Chain A
């Protein structure tokens, strides 16, 4: 992988499903197996490679897929705001009752898409979910927060984002991989949903962290304090 001053070059880099999104797909499939939801639709925004990710979700048990094609410069600058607008538009179009996604993507670590999608839809949100229980037309979500665990009850339709301990994603079985071939993936562009993906952020620069320098050993605590004062650390 190359890092240029203005971004990261992604040509030829293998794309795979974001681990937190895998957990989200698993949760959706589990809810369907418990017969609590009717249909699981797997959605991904991106270039042609995104189809493979959708197919993996289908192999895990999703019913159908939607690929929102975003390529070239648009894709390079695609960020949480643009993706949220796409998801919000799709959620309305598909009349979804629950949008479940990974809490954050491990390439940009933004942790914004779920929250923004809920805000755009004016839906309640249960983020950092480690447990999700459907109770009638409400959802009980146990959230992992800094202080411990918080339990909330939200109305549907809602947005939930998956945290690490929500579940352990299944390995796709061979028969399901074969069945996934026959499931449909619809193709569309952001414009079809009336979404403008023009970026609102400009990346000024991307740098590697500075090289780690050698440390210095000291003999006593007094030495340590003196050194820290000398270098202006304290």
Chain B
């Protein structure tokens, strides 16, 4: 009897691995339908307005509400809390298609899903989940994630924002920088030092509603790209919140931030894939239509080599992103793969958007064509949620650890 059970378990785990491996080759049917739905939405509702949103720096309010109604603002959140109850592979697929239409809308969706809801879902109490997640599943409210400071980005352990207890309240003081969604958010996850002597083990995470006394916003940054999403400082001056607003245990802030960013990297990798794919779409279409030397430029090897390199870069990064998602969904370690995905996808986005402008020539340099917007949007993907340099350190650290054993 024991042998039979063991055989069944082995078969089940084989079947699971086969299912996961085949999911890399072709998405399961539900995910294909999801991809088509998101693609239709992006083509009809996002692509036509992306240029205007970029020029006017205007937040896609209506579209975020519509995406919320579709369940896309809270993909991983269980249905009881108001979410779509799907997996991270679904999130990655949805993010790529949305970002292909409009990269700014993509980052709003990603920050809400991975950076705001993510840590609360993983580390929050049941009451916190109901209070801080459920209203943020419909698109009517979005959240943000405040880790970086003017004095530290990559050096996250050096958080100088302080939190001390006064009676039944936490009091926070400090400034956070580069916070996406800040001007449109209704709540934020903030990281502050509660015990300076413990260094990075003395950082804790807090939930603050917005607006709130003691919390103010700096001016909106005038960015190179993703202009429709707001980025600003969050300034905390004697900002008081109830003790119950601490997220996770005291001192767990750094761990929470790092684990949250692991998942966030899959979201940003997917956004970068969307931008890269949009660049390839633009370039390949142009290659058919533009004539030079008596034929469409797609006939020239110089152009063909670029198209091939772009396609390979995108497909490899996509497979890495899907693999990271599948590992996360299987509750296996995925830190290395997520870092690889983010690194590969963001470098693919800057490469593809650069080459797309090159293929379009002069037309790539003007705002009549989307190539220049993709170029500007792509650039940030190599910087936020962990610079490419940090990703390389994470990957190397993981690999060297494997070899040490």
A residues with a Cβ closer than 8 A to B are 16, 52, 55-56, 59, 171-175, 177-178, 180-181
Consensus secondary structure, chain A interface? helix
B residues with a Cβ closer than 8 A to A are 29-30, 32-34, 36-37, 40-41, 66, 69-72, 75, 79, 84-86, 90, 94
Which 10 A-B residue pairs are closest in the complex by CB-CB distance? A174-B71, A174-B84, A173-B70, A173-B71, A172-B37, A171-B41, A177-B33, A175-B84, A175-B71, A171-B37
A177, B41: Cα distance in complex, Å: 15
A178, B70: Cα distance in complex, Å: 12
Instruction: From known contacts A52-B29, A55-B29, infer whether A177 and B85 are also in contact, taking CB-CB under 8 Å.
Output: no
* Cβ–Cβ contact B33 & A56, under 8 A: yes
A233, B164: Cα distance in complex, Å: 91
Instruction: Identify A174's interface contact among B29, B34, B40, B66, CB under 8 A.
Output: B34
A177, B29: Cα distance in complex, Å: 10
> Which residues from chain B contact A16 at a C-beta distance below 8 Å?
36
* Cβ–Cβ contact B86 & A52, under 8 A: no
* Cβ–Cβ contact A55 & B33, under 8 A: yes
> Which residues from chain A contact B69 at a C-beta distance below 8 Å?
173
A180, B33: Cα distance in complex, Å: 10
> Which residues from chain B contact A56 at a C-beta distance below 8 Å?
33, 36-37
For B37, B40, B85, B86, the residue with the greatest tally of chain A CB atoms inside 10 Å of its CB is B37
Closest residue of chain A to B69, judged by CB?
Answer: A173
For A173, A174, A177, A181, the residue with the greatest tally of chain B CB atoms inside 10 Å of its CB is A174
* Cβ–Cβ contact A173 & B33, under 8 A: no
* Cβ–Cβ contact A173 & B84, under 8 A: yes
> Which residues from chain B contact A173 at a C-beta distance below 8 Å?
69-71, 84
Closest residue of chain B to A58, judged by CB?
Answer: B33
Enumerate 5 A-B pairs (CB-CB under 8 Å) in ascending A order. A52-B33, A56-B36, A59-B37, A173-B70, A178-B30
A175, B84: Cα distance in complex, Å: 5
> Which residues from chain A contact B90 at a C-beta distance below 8 Å?
174
> Which residues from chain B contact A171 at a C-beta distance below 8 Å?
37, 40-41, 66, 70
A181, B90: Cα distance in complex, Å: 14
* Cβ–Cβ contact B37 & A178, under 8 A: no
> Which residues from chain B contact A177 at a C-beta distance below 8 Å?
30, 33-34, 37
* Cβ–Cβ contact B70 & A174, under 8 A: yes
A56, B35: Cα distance in complex, Å: 11
